[in-house]
Each structure stands twice: as C-alpha cells, then as structure tokens.
Amino acid sequence: MRFFLVVTLALSLAAPAQAGNWADDPEYAQHAEFATSRRICDQLRRVELPDAKRPDRREQGGMAGCRSEALYYGIGVPVDAKAAFACAQLEADDMFSGDMMLMTMYANGKGVAVDLDKAVALACVGTGAPMEIHYRVQSLTQRRGVTPTAEFHWCDDITSGLNMGWCAAHAARFDEATQAEDVKAFRRHWREGEAAVRLEALLAAAKNFVSVRGNEVDQSGTARAALVIEAEAEVRRRLHDDLHDLAGSQMRLAAAATDTDADAELNRVYKRVMAHDFGEYGGAPSPAAIRGVQRAWLKYRDAWVAFVKAAGPGLPPQAVINLQTRHRIAQLLELLGETP
C-alpha cells in the first residue's frame, strides 16, 4: 500500500529520538525543561516490562494474524479489549501494536486493570521526539488520583511530522473500515445491469486517482507521510459522500446542476498552479506530477458521468461534472495555500 511506502521512506530518513530509558538519554541530560519527565522515568525504571525486542509470537500463542489496534478500537472488527490485550502481549513491538497498545490499555483500564506505573514506564522506553516523550510521560502521570475526562491516546502528545504520519495512517484505518462497509451497501443498492458495471469502473478509477493524488503534495518535510495520507483520504471521503448523496436525497447533485462557472474556474486555477514556482527542493510538487494527477482525475470524472447515466437519477450529466470539478478546484487551490 502507498502509505507503507511513504512512511517507510520517512522512517529511513529519521532515526528514533531515543532507544532505552528516557531518563538515560545523555543528549538531553542538561535540558532543564525535560527534568520532570526524566525524573519520573528514573523512578519507574524497575517496573517490569516486556522485552522491547521480542519476536512476534502471535502464531505460537494461538492468535495468528490478530491486531491489537483493530481489536481495541474496533477497526473492521468488534471491539474486544481483552483480546486486544492478549494480542498486544504476543505482538512484536511496533507502531500501534505491542508496547504502544499495552501502554494505552494500562492507561485506560480496558482489557486489563489500570496500571499507571506500567503505562508511564512504557512511555519512558517508547519511541518519539523528545518533547513528545516529555509530554506523554507527564500526561500519563497526571492521571494519578483523578478521574480522567478523556481516554489516553498516544497521538494526543505528538509533536513531530514523522509521527503525524503514523497517526494519520491510524485515523485513515478507521475511515477505510467504514468505507469497506459502505462499498458493500453501494453494491447492494446498484446491483443490477449497467449501473453495477459502471459502479465497479468508478471504484477502479477512484482507486487509481487515490494512488497518484499524493504526487502533487509537498513531500519535502517530515510531515510528508501525513500530508499524502490526508490527500488520499480526502478523495475517498468525497467519493463515499457523493455516492451516499446519489443513493439518497441527491441534494449535492441537484445544487451542482445549476453551477455554470465550475469549468471556467477550473481552467483558471489549473493555469495558476502550473505557472506557480513550487521550488526545486526534493519533494516539491512538479508540473509533470500535477499533470499526471490531472489526467487521472479526468478519467475519474468521466467514470462518474458514466455511472450517473447508468444509475438513472434523472439529473443531467453536467451536474456530476460540476460537482467533481468543484472538488478538483479545492484540491488545486490547496496547492496554492488557498481555500475555495
């Protein structure tokens, strides 16, 4: 999947902030702002924790293929916190698995009794930018002796662009699970004749558009993975929102039918984007990349037109052209730092 390629590249360019206990990191020993969290970690160094370098033991433990993240949050499967805890104990330590999920469950008391010593100690040996670890250790410690108003979530304390990517991917997995169920419903709704054929063609065109959409996103900084994931997720969200509209009230399509300026505005904005200097630094959007995305979008738009004709909602094809054109204008304006 594209996400794993993007994040793998990001990881290859940025080593973890610390390995071992945060209290022992010599690079930040003289930084007074970190003294509180380092002292807390020093006090908890004797807390018994799983081996951070443990191998994956899910198959041997009778839970082959389990994902603690999915079981805990209910991503594509029913929530089962106890199974999530058992799975996390068997998983190799990684992002949103293993120790990260154990930390979450010890903090929130789901799947296992609350154990803030273990939650904080796991934060002390976890990965992250220095300020992230500092914030996370303190936020977990502040849960002692009080009734928290919200559940702990690892992403609440992120400060680095790299970890924005991991958290964006985590959020995208929720959307993708919901959207997978949506697709089943759409296929049931348009299950006959040409509409069924054109729906599959639309889904294929959307998949292709999603696969290239990130090519016109600025990938020069550490937040590149998050930006690419969000750009791809935006296409999927709009696809599903528009399909829901078509299957229901058709309010969006009806409103778009009277939009007489969309095509002309797209041409104006596209020319501005192609004339814009995005710089020559690595990862900046290039005219060639933007043209490639535009070609994929045109095929996607045409797939929408063919589908709407087959689905027979009684609206002119121009309505869906206008609607998809407005979506594309918003994407191009974003490249210029503008909003519609």
pLDDT in tens, 286-333: 999 999 999 999 999 999 999 999 997 788 899 999 999 999 999 999
Are residues 138 and 179 both part of a single domain? no
Domain that holds residue 45: 18-157
Pairwise pLDDT comparison (229 vs 8), residue with the higher score: 229
Out of 21-25, 68-72, 277-281, least confident range: 277-281
Are residues 199 and 323 both part of a single domain? yes
Are residues 219 and 144 both part of a single domain? no
Query: Is 10 a domain residue?
Result: no
**Residue 208 three-state SS:** helix
Out of 8-17, 151-160, 165-174, 218-227, least confident range: 8-17
pLDDT of residue 280: 63
Instruction: Tell whether pTM > 0.75.
Output: yes
Amino acid at 220: S
pLDDT of residue 87: 98
Instruction: Give Cα separations from 231 to 59, 234, 302 (angstroms).
Output: 36, 5, 21
Are residues 102 and 151 both part of a single domain? yes
Residue at a domain's end among 93, 126, 157: 157
- 288 burial level (CB within 10 Å; 0-12, 13-18, 19+): exposed
Query: Is 36 a domain residue?
Result: yes
Are residues 69 and 206 both part of a single domain? no
* Bridge partners for 97 per DSSP: 94
CA angle 123, 128, 131 (to 5 degrees): 90
Are residues 153 and 174 both part of a single domain? no
pLDDT of residue 249: 87
Which residues have CB under 8 Å from 269's CB, separation 6+?
Answer: 329, 332, 333, 336
Are residues 183 and 319 both part of a single domain? yes
CA angle 61, 62, 68 (to 5 degrees): 80
Q: Which of 110, 154, 151, 148 is nearest to 135 (CA)?
A: 154
**1: confidence class by pLDDT, cuts 50, 70, 90:** very low
Are residues 314 and 289 both part of a single domain? yes
Average pLDDT on 329-340 reads 93
Query: Is 8 a domain residue?
Result: no
